[in-house]
A and B are shown apart, each in its own frame.
Chain A
Amino acid sequence: MRPPLKHVLAENLRDCRLKAGLTQTDLARKAGTPQSRLALMESKKSPALPGLEWLARVAQALGVNVVDLLAEKAAPEARTLSSLPEDEENLAAHLKELGAPLTGSAKKGRAFSPEAVVLGVLRAPSARLLECLPAVLAAKNMDYAKLLRLAEERGLVNRLGFVVDVARRVASDDRSERGARLERFSKQLWLKRNREREDFLTKTMPDDGEFRSWLKKKTPAAGKRWRVYGAYSLERFRDAFRAAA
């Protein structure tokens, strides 16, 4: 039996959004629609269907065709994606538990593996959370094989590669096994990188050409190498790394 059109649309929308590394809020902003409407369309429980114009705007914001959002074949793929923590506060609570130097009351939802937390931060990057990743990545209990699998699944290999390179750099004083492990992992990631894609490690994808070129100039060398851009400073990464230690 064919699934109802709303189920297909809801699953495809969510799948495409996650693959694009966007949260509902990001996509809503990009497509110029309220986040609540997007949530409604991603919900299988609500029978509401969108208008064609709305669908076209969302498809454009996702970089896909309207047909992709209505095609049945995309639905089974969505179910294979592992779930990652969402929401900045939830991510911060998880990171804090992993030793990141963040403050605030911990409001955690369900439990997630450290690898899923790293990918969750990379998917919806917030600078203060991202700066804590090198220390988390250098931790002994990090399963790099799992990280690589999750990153490939979500198309986040380049983003992860950038942060691993930064971690390798800030941990360079530490001549223990940590630096060597990160270096091996960075090489593994380099083989799996997406050579074509230019990515911006920002909360919302910049749509202004001048802002994009400025971000590229401000990106540290490790970011340029992975074609992942953002106005980050190694100093801040280093400070967070030391504070976590």
Chain B
Amino acid sequence: MTPLEPPLEKLRSILKEAVARVDRPLEIILIGGAAVLLTGARKRVTQDVDILASAAPVLRKLGALKPPIQPVSDSFLCLHPDYRKACKYIRALSFPAKIRVYRLSSLDLAISKLSRFQQVDIEDIEAILEKEQIQKRAFLRRYATARAYYTNSKQTDFNVKLLIRKFYREDFDPEKDLPRPIGGA
């Protein structure tokens, strides 16, 4: 088995311990720094492993919701409605068929970080855009749909404007330059 970074190794051992008690398939989606680490865009993260809160009740019931696992509600994040379809399967952390672990796709991960947009998030987004060579058009197309489902899109529009100018060195006006949302239910 490939050795993982310490917090992910800890997650694997927690899941390994819990797998015998799982009575129905469980899906865990990694977000935040741990997911960035798995994209290979940046090498180091702090201790927490953020997961989407949908898996939290089952993990709690199994007694597996403990550090470094940190549930985060998806309502706090700017996410494309089809983010689940784009998730990447993490074989090294999964115990099929009972526990399957995924991470957000690189593009969704970058977009999810627009909601908080602190210094660490800006660096992560830039690292992802650079590593995956994500074009401005693709980024905006995905973001346009994600923002339609997000409560504080005014804030993320402003953050996108700053990001586009900083990273792509181009101007961006959310009123004019955003494509029409596509996808979702």
Contacts A103-B5, A103-B6, A103-B7 given; does A231 touch B46 at CB 8 Å: no
Q: Please provide the chain B residues from 5 to 63 with a CB less than 8 Å away from any CB of chain A in the complex.
A: 5-7, 33, 37, 43-48
B-contact 0/1 string along A128-150, CB 8 Å cutoff: 11111000000000000000000
Residues of B within 8 A of A240 (CB): 46
* From A103, A104, A236, residue with most partner B Cβ within 10 Å: A103
What is the minimal beta-carbon distance from B88 to any residue of chain A, in angstroms? 20
Q: Are B117 and A243 in contact (CB under 8 A)?
A: no
Contacts A103-B6, A128-B120, A202-B119 given; does A92 touch B165 at CB 8 Å: no
What is the minimal beta-carbon distance from B114 to any residue of chain A, in angstroms? 13
Q: Does A208 contact B (CB under 8 A)?
A: yes
Which residue from A89, A101, A211 sits with its C-beta under 8 Å from B46? A101
What is the minimal beta-carbon distance from A134 to any residue of chain B, in angstroms? 13
Contacts A103-B6, A231-B119, A233-B118 given; does A128 touch B162 at CB 8 Å: no
Counting contact residues on chain B (CB < 8 A from A), the size range is 20 to 34
Q: Are A89 and B165 in contact (CB under 8 A)?
A: no
Q: Are A231 and B45 in contact (CB under 8 A)?
A: no
Q: Does B98 contact A (CB under 8 A)?
A: no
CB-based closest 9 A-B pairs: A127-B120, A127-B119, A103-B5, A231-B119, A103-B6, A104-B44, A231-B118, A211-B162, A101-B47
**13 A-B pairs whose Cβ atoms sit less than 8 Å apart in the complex:** A88-B43, A92-B43, A102-B45, A103-B7, A103-B47, A104-B5, A128-B33, A128-B44, A128-B45, A211-B162, A214-B162, A232-B118, A236-B118
